[in-house]
């Protein structure tokens, strides 16, 4: 599938401020958002494009080579370390498009898909040691059940984890299709007919391999810190676990006091709001975009502006 950026125009419309300012694309991927951003920026603009997947970074940087862009191989959880001293605190806009890249999903050998046979990998950064294989073949049944339930919200997590352990006692589980078949056989027949039964478990293992939720929690306060006053951050999420973290952070940082309403006096030290929400509710893709790009159906864009 060709790369199709989600909520493209909406994201750029909300993020764009000074056409000659400094911008960060924390999740470069195929460069869809970056390409549109560059069209609308002036000659003096600067953009930092980050991706933890060196293969995607190399490919996209060749396609979108531009003197205004600095391409960086890094994890966005280390955002502050990527910036130079004169850049921190002077950023006009930040884009963070969460979730797995289309290139990763559609490259079978990366091991993200339950539709293709490949080694159990699922690493976004191929230089890291932990792979999906390690989780599936070495974690305890209880640890597997917790990952599958917590990150996949899979109601049959215990059955699936038990089946995984039983199968690996016979031999290692090495490939994606092996794992998908084990999951399929572990759940009720009716559940298999609803959607692919491996979908939630694969999501859960992928999130655990890449510590995706931990990365979001780390980048949010950094994004707020490096923005200039009036700068904006736009975050696209693809499932409730991601969106919950972003929504909670935005709500907390947009309030002047975070004390429970039942308290008679303020005990939080008189916190002052650091951001304002540009939209109270997330921006969602329209029907036309969802028809063109099925991966857009679950997307939500939340926008905040630093005060």
pTM passes above 0.85: yes
Model confidence over 166-223: pLDDT tens digits?
Answer: 999 999 999 999 999 999 999 999 999 888 999 999 999 999 999 999 999 999 999 9
230 and 290 share one domain? yes
- Say if 202 falls within a structural domain: yes
Neighbours of 278 (CB within 10 A): 16
206 and 216 share one domain? no
- Terminus-to-terminus CA distance in the chain, angstroms? 40
- Judge whether residue 43 has pLDDT over 90: yes
What's the whole-number mean pLDDT along residues 40-50?
A: 98
Nearest-10 Cα torsion for 208, 205, 103, 248: -50
Which of 178, 210, 242 represents a domain boundary (last residue)?
Answer: 210
Question: pLDDT value at position 266?
Answer: 74
Instruction: Enumerate residues 6+ apart whose C-beta is below 8 A from 227.
Output: 89, 91, 92, 94, 233, 306
Contact 223, 83 (CB under 8 A): no
Question: pLDDT value at position 99?
Answer: 74
Q: Token match 């935005």: residue?
A: 250
Token digits of residue 182: 């084990």
Which of 210, 243, 264 represents a domain boundary (last residue)?
Answer: 210
203 and 222 share one domain? no
**Short-list 204, 208, 215, CA closest to 239:** 204
- What is the residue-averaged pLDDT of the chain? 94
93 and 234 share one domain? yes
Instruction: Please state at what angle helix 212-226 crosses helix 199-210, rounded to 10 degrees.
Output: 50
Token digits of residue 117: 């046979």
Domain of 161, CATH number, reads 1.10.150.170
27 and 162 share one domain? no
16: left (phi over 0), alpha (psi -120 to 50) or beta: beta
84 and 18 share one domain? yes
Give the range of the structural domain holding residue 252, as residue numbers without chain letter. Answer: 8-97+212-306
Q: Alpha helices, DSSP H only, in 16-171?
A: 32-40, 54-63, 79-82, 102-105, 132-138, 141-152, 157-168
- Say if 118 falls within a structural domain: no
151 and 177 share one domain? yes
Which helix or strand (DSSP H or E) is residue 95 part of?
Answer: strand 91-97
Domain of 77, CATH number, reads 3.40.50.150
Rounded percentage of the chain residues whose pLDDT exceeds 90: 88
Instruction: Please state at what angle helix 199-210 crosses helix 141-152, rounded to 10 degrees.
Output: 100
Count the domains in the chain: 2
**Short-list 123, 81, 111, 101, CA closest to 218:** 81
- Say if 120 falls within a structural domain: no
235 and 201 share one domain? no
Q: What's the CA gap between 62 and 69, in Å, rounded?
A: 11
Which of 190, 210, 230 represents a domain boundary (last residue)?
Answer: 210
Model confidence over 240-296: pLDDT tens digits?
Answer: 999 999 999 999 999 987 677 777 777 767 678 999 999 999 999 999 999 999 889
Model confidence over 154-165: pLDDT tens digits?
Answer: 999 999 999 999
Question: pLDDT value at position 1?
Answer: 45
> pLDDT tier at 3 (50, 70, 90 boundaries)?
low
């Amino acid at each position: 599938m060709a790369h199709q950026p989600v909520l493209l125009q909406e994201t750029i419309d909300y993020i764009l401020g000074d056409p000659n300012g400094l911008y960060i694309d924390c999740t470069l991927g195929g460069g869809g958002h970056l390409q549109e951003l560059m069209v609308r920026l002036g000659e003096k603009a600067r953009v930092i494009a980050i991706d933890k997947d060196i293969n995607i970074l190399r490919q996209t940087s060749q396609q979108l080579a531009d003197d205004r862009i600095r391409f960086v191989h890094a994890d966005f959880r280390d955002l502050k370390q990527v910036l130079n001293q004169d850049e921190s605190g002077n950023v006009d806009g930040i884009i963070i498009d969460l979730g797995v890249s289309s290139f990763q999903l559609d490259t079978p050998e990366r091991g993200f898909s339950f539709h293709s046979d490949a080694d159990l990998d699922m690493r976004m950064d191929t230089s890291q040691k932990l792979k999906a294989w390690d989780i599936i073949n070495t974690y305890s049944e209880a640890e597997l059940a917790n990952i599958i339930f917590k990150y996949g919200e899979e109601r049959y997590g215990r059955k699936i984890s038990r089946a995984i352990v039983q199968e690996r006692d016979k031999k290692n589980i090495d490939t994606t299709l092996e794992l998908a078949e084990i999951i399929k056989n572990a759940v009720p027949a009716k559940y298999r007919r609803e959607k692919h039964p491996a979908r939630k478990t694969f999501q859960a293992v992928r999130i655990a391999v890449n510590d995706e939720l931990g990365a979001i929690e780390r980048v949010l306060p950094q994004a707020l810190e490096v923005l200039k006053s009036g700068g904006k951050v736009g975050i696209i999420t693809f499932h409730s676990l991601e969106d919950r973290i972003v929504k909670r952070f935005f709500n907390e940082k947009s309030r002047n006091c975070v004390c429970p309403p039942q308290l008679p006096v303020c005990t939080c030290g008189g916190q002052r709001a650091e951001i304002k929400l540009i939209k109270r509710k997330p921006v969602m893709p329209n029907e036309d975009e969802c028809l063109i790009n099925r991966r857009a159906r679950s997307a939500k864009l939340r926008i905040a502006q630093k005060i």
